[in-house]
Amino acid sequence: MKSLKDFPNIIFIIKVYLLSLTAFFCFRLILFLTETDSVGGGSENYITILLAFIMGIRFDLVISGYILFFPFIILSLLSIINKPSKITNKILFFLIYLLFCISFVMCAIDIPYFNQFFTRLNVTALAWLDSPAFVFKMIVEEPRLWLFALPAILLSIVFYKVLKRIFSSFEKHENTKSRYLIKTLIFILFAGLIFIGVRGRVSKKSPIRIGTAYFSDNSFLNQLGLNPVFTFLRSYIDSKDERNTAIQLIDEKTAIANVQKYLSISPGNMASPLYRKIDPDTIATTKHNVVVVIMESMSAAKMKRYGNKKNLTPFLDSLANQSYYFDNIYAAGMHTFNGIFSTLFSFPAIFRQHPMKDDNISKRNGIASVLRKQGYTTTYFTTHDGQFDNVEGFLRSNDFENVISQSDYPSGEVKTTLGVPDDYLFRYSIPYISKLNDRKKPFFVAFMTASDHAPFYVPDYFKSHYTDTKDQITEYADWSIRQFISMASKQSWFRNTLFVFIADHGEPINTTYDISLDYHHTPLIFYAPYLLPENRAFEMIGGQIDVFPTIMGLIKLPYDNTTLGIDLLKQSRPYIFINSDDKYGVLDKELFLIVRKDGRSNLYKYLNNDKTDYLNTYEKEASLMNEYARSNLQVFQYTVKQKKIE
């Protein structure tokens, strides 16, 4: 049997990996020592600290893998064919050394950067390049900043010497005779391992993301595991993505003035232009639990209530008659991440921007943050990989204490890429929620279902009335919600819980217009048979962005609202705006305005699917609708840019 010494390329790559991981560890340790006050006390933190450093290894492997992958490929191929090349070795030596030195410089810069901004190095740092003289003077005038250059210099020197020895050792053994087949198999195996390290995760749905590092309630320890080279490159790539381009639809000052007028906000009295303190008429003597179920693809058009002949949603239709039901509610965007973000944080969708892939995962004053201040526990359930769309990291950073995802379920229950079926998600959640209730604290729980999205999986134990898979899966999704309410009704916490049901988005069932209204029209149900005094249906127009404030009004708790949402039971809005990636729409109870990125617009009377363009007929109305949407979208963009979400 061959020993590892017969494969010098493998010994080489292992040694360089260990060397790079040691160097990155040193920088992480220095950062940790400069921020010990951010760690907090308690013996339990020792485990959390250890987990943060272990998380750091994962991110360091990604960066090391990117640097070493192609050098390893080249050296291995030369080793396999027994054609060593000193020139190639020398080129690769200097390439590896240069790239790691650049990484070390970035790690050194990251330490004072983090100390100053409490975020890892990102593309925002490049803004300093506009004033290089100013920055240079600032560094010279602060001697402490020079101290962080010492680790980079020392580690670069040590790295050079050790790397040179590793290359020398490799060159002594690189022409070792071994059979091609064995060399090739070992090479393929290690190349695969490096690729997995570069990807950071073995899950098919998503590679490692910034949000992967967010595993605890401690903001510093969540960020400690990140590698600054990773965060910088990730933020740079995202900044070049057209989807993340900031919009300029209207002058910011004009937009702010307009929105403050729409929302009856007194200007200039707080840091946030959207701030208003909300005090209920009477404050609840008992804090009610809240459960929000965001239903995958559950278009209102699937319900019998809106004319669907197939009876696909018998339970949702019956629930609509036992609740506060809102008939004219619209999803903010086309994607699940839009639905999650807009429902839980009350902000809209802007073209292709992905609000939960912010490079430094900014803090936002959403419903979890507000309720946690009121003593609630906060939990999010999803069926699949929590890292997809960076949801888990984003939510953990925004006061969701617990995120339950695919890794928490038995592997045998995972049926597709989308994880477990909806009814299993709910079955799993019931005892979990009961344990939350046992803490004698109110709870907020949010669900994101997934079954009504391809790849479809209909469990054998569910018997559908239909043969078409899409009909079966919608019926199954509705049945799963029935099971959830049935199980919940048997729990002690049911009587004190407000249940909210809304879609993340719909389906393009009716495509009369180039923004499908069925893709955005969603049911909105507030169900609490022991808390709401009567069953009512509401006709006012609204959106996902209004769910959070309306919940707060129903449970009668005071809070600071810094969002674009309103309490639909206390206020009204003339229009609601929706997003379709490259265009946006604006609706009132009769008219539907579509505005494209190139400025072209159309105005329709949508209630009867009228395709006549009434833009010239209702020019004034179209102008008011467009100004309303542009102002709201621009204010949201402003708050993101100014970091004034809180």
Which pLDDT tens digit goes with each residue over 183-210? 788 889 989 999 999 998 887 778 898 8
Q: Do 407 and 288 have their domain in common?
A: yes
First to last CA, the chain: 63
Q: What is the 3-state secondary structure (H, E, C) of 557-592?
A: CCEEECCCCCCCCCCCCCCEEEECCCEEEEECCCEE
Q: Do 341 and 222 have their domain in common?
A: no
Residue 130 pLDDT > 70: no
CATH number at residue 320: 3.40.720.10
pLDDT for res 645: 46
Which pLDDT tens digit goes with each residue over 554-591? 999 999 999 999 999 999 999 999 998 889 999 999 99
| End residue of a domain, out of 543, 570, 597 | 570
Alpha helices per DSSP H over 346-421: 367-373, 391-397
Structural Rg of the chain based on CA atoms: 28
Tokens 């909300």 sit at which residue? 278
In terms of Cα–Cα distance, which of 189, 544, 175, 135 is closest to 337? 544
CA 506 to each of CA 293, 298, 306, 389, 523: distance values in angstroms, whole numbers, following the listed order:
14, 5, 13, 19, 10
Residue 274 pLDDT > 50: yes
Average pLDDT in the 427-453 region? Answer: 97
**Count, residues in the chain:** 646
Residue 299 pLDDT > 80: yes
Q: Do 304 and 218 have their domain in common?
A: no
Return the beta strands (E) in 257-412 as ranges. 276-278, 289-295, 324-330, 377-382, 402-404
Q: Do 518 and 462 have their domain in common?
A: yes
Taking the C-alpha atoms of residue 420 and residue 44, their distance in angstroms, rounded to an integer, is 32
pTM: 0.84
pLDDT for res 5: 66
pLDDT for res 176: 59
Strand (E) or helix (H) holding 7: none
Residue 179 pLDDT > 80: no
| End residue of a domain, out of 551, 570, 589 | 570
pLDDT for res 118: 74
Name the amino acid, one letter, at 462.
Answer: F
Average pLDDT in the 492-511 region? Answer: 94
- Is position 85 within any domain? yes
| End residue of a domain, out of 542, 570, 598 | 570
Residue 512 pLDDT > 60: yes
Q: Do 334 and 197 have their domain in common?
A: no
In terms of Cα–Cα distance, which of 186, 194, 167, 193 is closest to 77? 186
Give me the numbers of helices (H) and strands (E) for the chain, helices first please.
18, 14
Residue 530 pLDDT > 80: yes
Which pLDDT tens digit goes with each residue over 14-36? 999 999 999 999 999 999 999 88
Q: Do 174 and 100 have their domain in common?
A: yes
- Is position 107 within any domain? yes
Those residues whose C-beta lies under 8 Å from the C-beta of residue 204, and which sit 6 or more positions away, are: 417
Taking the C-alpha atoms of residue 526 and residue 355, their distance in angstroms, rounded to an integer, is 26
Q: Do 137 and 194 have their domain in common?
A: yes
Least confident among 149-158, 235-244, 537-546: 235-244
- Is position 415 within any domain? yes
Taking the C-alpha atoms of residue 110 and residue 27, their distance in angstroms, rounded to an integer, is 9
Q: Do 134 and 228 have their domain in common?
A: yes
In terms of Cα–Cα distance, which of 245, 269, 265 is closest to 257? 265
pLDDT for res 126: 75
- Is position 581 within any domain? no
* 37: containing domain: 4-240
pLDDT for res 177: 59
Q: Is the peptide bond before 455 cis (omega within 30 degrees of 0)?
A: yes
* Distance from the Cα of residue 337 to its chain's centroid: 7
pLDDT band at 137 (very low <50, low <70, confident <90, very high): low
- Is position 41 within any domain? yes
- 3-class SS of residue 320: helix
pLDDT band at 510 (very low <50, low <70, confident <90, very high): confident
Q: What percent of the chain has pLDDT over 70?
A: 92
- 3-class SS of residue 506: coil
pLDDT band at 514 (very low <50, low <70, confident <90, very high): confident
- Is position 558 within any domain? yes
In terms of Cα–Cα distance, which of 381, 386, 366 is closest to 484? 381
Strand partners, 576: 587
- Is position 264 within any domain? no
Taking the C-alpha atoms of residue 116 and residue 9, their distance in angstroms, rounded to an integer, is 42
pLDDT for res 384: 92
Taking the C-alpha atoms of residue 347 and residue 486, their distance in angstroms, rounded to an integer, is 32
Those residues whose C-beta lies under 8 Å from the C-beta of residue 180, and which sit 6 or more positions away, are: 80, 81
pLDDT band at 41 (very low <50, low <70, confident <90, very high): low
In terms of Cα–Cα distance, which of 269, 36, 224 is closest to 119? 224
- 3-class SS of residue 348: coil
Beta-carbon-side half-sphere exposure of residue 229 (alpha carbons within 13 Å): 23
Name the amino acid, one letter, at 473.
Answer: I
Return the higher-pLDDT residue of 312 and 354.
312
Q: Do 318 and 233 have their domain in common?
A: no
Which pLDDT tens digit goes with each residue over 301-315? 999 999 999 999 999
Taking the C-alpha atoms of residue 73 and residue 78, their distance in angstroms, rounded to an integer, is 9
- Is position 578 within any domain? no
Q: Do 291 and 214 have their domain in common?
A: no
Mean residue pLDDT across the chain: 90
Q: Do 449 and 495 have their domain in common?
A: yes
Q: Do 218 and 290 have their domain in common?
A: no
pLDDT for res 1: 42
Which pLDDT tens digit goes with each residue over 372-393? 999 999 999 999 988 888 899 9
Number of domains in the chain: 2
Return the higher-pLDDT residue of 79 and 318.
318
